[in-house]
Structure 1
Amino acid sequence: MRIHIYISVTVLIVFQKSASEAVSLPSPTNVSIHCDSYGVEVRWKYPDLSQGVQFQVEVKDDYNIRNSNITQKLRLNISSLMFTTQYNRYFVAVTAVRGGEESKPTLSDSFSYNILSTTNIKCFLDFPEIKLSPKDGKLHVQFANPLQLYRNSPALRDLTDNLKYCIETEEENNDTCKTCEMTHNTCEMSIEFSKHRGEYCISLTGEIGLRSFNDERSCFEGDIRSYPSVTEYVYPVLGVVLTLLFITGIIMLLVSKYNATIKKKASNIFPDSLKISLLPSPPPYSPDKEHVDSNVRVEPKMPPEEQHLKEICDNKTEYPDTKDPESSDSEAKNPYGGNDLVEDEPYNQSEGYDCPHAPRQEMSPGDMVDGYGPKLLLDV
């Protein structure tokens, strides 16, 4: 009988133990670390969240200093739980909690921002956006100062070291390093290339104390060679022109002043009787045009023999009272004069006009005055 009692108690204990193990909380899985310039985040997975399970996240370092926090999510930023990130390395343990029950903790890999630390995960910083541009025949590299950009990050608080960065190019022996202090808003450097390239690429590395940056590669496409601007030629030429104009103005002013002085001295040297010669001469006298009578009779020029006949005729006409006595008697008898209508003898044209006509002379266009009449012949 006692044997049966012992067997029953043993079976009951085993059953209760198996039942308690069946209802215990499972542990989180796939705990991972994600770190960058702004902090560290822990992520994990859990099979069932429907029963109000919470998670306790505990951060500890090599000196066994622990800090923890509780969340219902499957991730947590643990930057505020870290300290002296430049030297320490860390571990994270995630435990599922429900009421008074706790699961077994799940550990993460070790991680650190210290580049010299022997850890599974190395946390690196990232450079801000890099701007490349040509400047004075060189490639100008510029980016925001990480010391100011990340100084409020919980994982990088208490930054005291300066940024040291280096730029590497595709050319040999062309690596350049420089220091950027906290007081600078931007970090910048100009890189010179030995020959022209269609594409200029650089590789940027740096560190703040023992914190290291991820390598950043950037390229610029274009021409970085320096060409003189138009103003470099315009301003010198304009300066020379203005200088020449200024000198010319001064010379003209001095010449005019010198001429005035000479005239003043000359007027004091010469007597008053000779000063009139210094006055400007009056304009040349222009006599009035000779008045020409518009009723002048213009006669054509005659040959000498015709001129002689004309004089004979003129002499006869000067004595009209010299007449034949017979003709005067007949005119006295007939008060009306002779009957010119009765002709006893044929009319002789030569008897009625005793001066023969001068032969008609043709006039050439050259003898005309302005095309309206013969030239006036004046014998001097």
Structure 2
Amino acid sequence: MRILIYISVILILIQKSTSEAVSRPSPPVNVSIQCDNYGVEVHWEYPDLSQDVHFLVEVGMSVNHNERKYIDTTRNLSLNISSMLFNSAYNYYFVTVTAVRGGNHSDPRKSVIFSFSELAPGDKKCYLDFPEVELSPKDGKLHVQFINPLHLYRNTPALRNLTDNLKYTVETEEDQTDSTCEMETKTCEASIGFSELREVYCINLSGQIGDRRLNPRRRSCFKGDIRNYPSFTVYLYPVLAVVFTLLIITGIIMLLVKKCYSEIKKKSRAAFPDFLVFKPKQTHLCEPLKLYPEAVASDLRIEPKEQTTLIEMSSDESSSSGDKDVGSCDLDNVSPYGDNDLDEADPGDSTIGYDCPHALRLEMSPGDIVKGYGH
């Protein structure tokens, strides 16, 4: 009887375990961690998504060697767990994912242990990427410039509650330079010198913030000349100063010449008489004459004059008449002792014996008569 009881109990337990195994969902697979500059995500795979399941995500961390867990649920195959990470500078984490269907839970699947700290234990290290670097020549050196990661990644869980500064190293083929960028500085800068000229200048950058390391940036190169050349203003300002000085000197000379010319002009006017000073011409006297038409009667007629009759004279009459005319009109050939009686005449009266009223009257003094007679 007891044997039958034991057999029945065993069959019941086997049936119960079989039924439970059939009702429990299958566990997720390939649980992985992806951490970058802006957060941490956990990813997994599930073989049968047609089942009505959701996933339970537990984030475990060690705080002073005491483990704590934070739980969240999702129906997706990934979950961002950045808000569930605390004290990322010193802690290490792991994630457990469980499938849930109804009230049944699958077997949990655990991720690898990961951490942002170089000193914390873990299978996976999460690093921040080094920012983009700008290279340019400056003062004969290679100028390195990039955005401070403390400003660029300020919202990432890796930099939460941070009090450390950035320490970075610039490495060249010749040497390496260590620098520090303060938390308040937005842009980090450094100048790297080279002992010889090259066609291409290349550097490697690496750095860390406290215990959090940045992914190194390999072989950032600048192609060109980094030698120091004087700027354009070095030549511009002296040239402008010389030109300005010459303009001032020229203006002063012109003022002096103008002043000396005015003084010389005043002295020259005082040295010569007024009649030698040329006065301005009266331009109004040079205006051309204006011709005005004279009013003439339109019915004016010219009548011919009467013709004069020429009387032919004989030779005797002409000769006598000529002698008479000469005797009465030519004063130069009249004898002073002839018919004119010049001795009895008044010397002051020059009209005596002159019977040609139509001729030009000549006034002569007695002396002139005597001189004429002598000739």
Match of 2:323 in 1: none
Count of aligned positions: 274
Paired letter, 2:90: Y
Match of 2:241 in 1: 239
Q: Does 1:159 align with 2:154?
A: no
SS of match in other structure, 1:177: strand
Q: Does 1:190 align with 2:185?
A: no
Whether the aligned pair in 1 keeps the contact of 2:116 and 2:158 (CA below 8 Å) is: no
Percent identical residues: 57
Match of 2:102 in 1: 99
| TM-score (normalizing by structure 2) | 0.64
State the distance in 1 between where 2:195 and 2:2 align: 101
Q: 1:87 to 1:279 in 2, by over 3 A?
A: farther
Paired letter, 2:188: C
Q: 1:278 to 1:19 in 2, by over 3 A?
A: farther
Match of 1:215 in 2: 216
Q: After the TM superposition, which residues 37-52 of structure 1 pair with which residues of structure 2 at under 5 Å, given as runs?
A: 37-52=37-52
Deviation at 1:161, TM superposition (A): 2.0
Match of 2:271 in 1: 276
CA RMSD of aligned residues (A): 2.9
Q: 1:166 to 1:100 in 2, by over 3 A?
A: same
Q: 1:177 to 1:5 in 2, by over 3 A?
A: closer
Match of 1:250 in 2: 252
Match of 2:131 in 1: 128
Q: 1:12 to 1:234 in 2, by over 3 A?
A: closer
State the distance in 1 between where 2:272 and 2:26 align: 132
Gaps of 5+ in 2: 279-375
Whether the aligned pair in 1 keeps the contact of 2:135 and 2:222 (CA below 8 Å) is: yes
Paired letter, 1:105: P
Q: 1:6 to 1:237 in 2, by over 3 A?
A: closer
SS of match in other structure, 1:249: helix
Match of 2:32 in 1: 32
State the distance in 2 between where 1:32 and 1:279 align: 118
SS of match in other structure, 1:65: strand
Whether the aligned pair in 2 keeps the contact of 1:151 and 1:159 (CA below 8 Å) is: no
Deviation at 1:129, TM superposition (A): 2.0
Match of 2:369 in 1: none
Match of 1:83 in 2: 86
Deviation at 1:255, TM superposition (A): 6.5
Deviation at 1:131, TM superposition (A): 1.9
State the distance in 2 between where 1:68 and 1:280 align: 123
Match of 1:225 in 2: 227
Q: 1:280 to 1:223 in 2, by over 3 A?
A: farther
Q: After the TM superposition, which residues 1-380 of structure 1 pair with which residues of structure 2 at under 5 Å, given as runs?
A: 3=3, 6-62=6-62, 63-171=66-174, 173=175, 175-217=176-218, 218-251=220-253, 253=255, 275-277=270-272
SS of match in other structure, 2:203: strand
Deviation at 1:277, TM superposition (A): 4.7
Deviation at 1:85, TM superposition (A): 0.6
State the distance in 2 between where 1:98 and 1:210 align: 42
Deviation at 1:198, TM superposition (A): 1.7
Deviation at 1:20, TM superposition (A): 2.4
Whether the aligned pair in 2 keeps the contact of 1:90 and 1:110 (CA below 8 Å) is: yes
SS of match in other structure, 1:84: coil
| TM-score (normalizing by structure 1) | 0.64
Q: 1:279 to 1:18 in 2, by over 3 A?
A: farther
Whether the aligned pair in 1 keeps the contact of 2:89 and 2:158 (CA below 8 Å) is: no
State the distance in 1 between where 2:250 and 2:272 align: 32
Match of 2:321 in 1: none
Gaps of 5+ in 1: 268-273, 284-380
SS of match in other structure, 1:33: strand
* Higher deviation after alignment, 181-190 or 106-115: 181-190
Paired letter, 1:206: G
Match of 1:367 in 2: none
Spell out, residue by residue over 1:305-364, the C-alpha distance to the aligned partner (whole angstroms, 9 max, x if none): xxxxxxxxxxxxxxxxxxxxxxxxxxxxxxxxxxxxxxxxxxxxxxxxxxxxxxxxxxxx
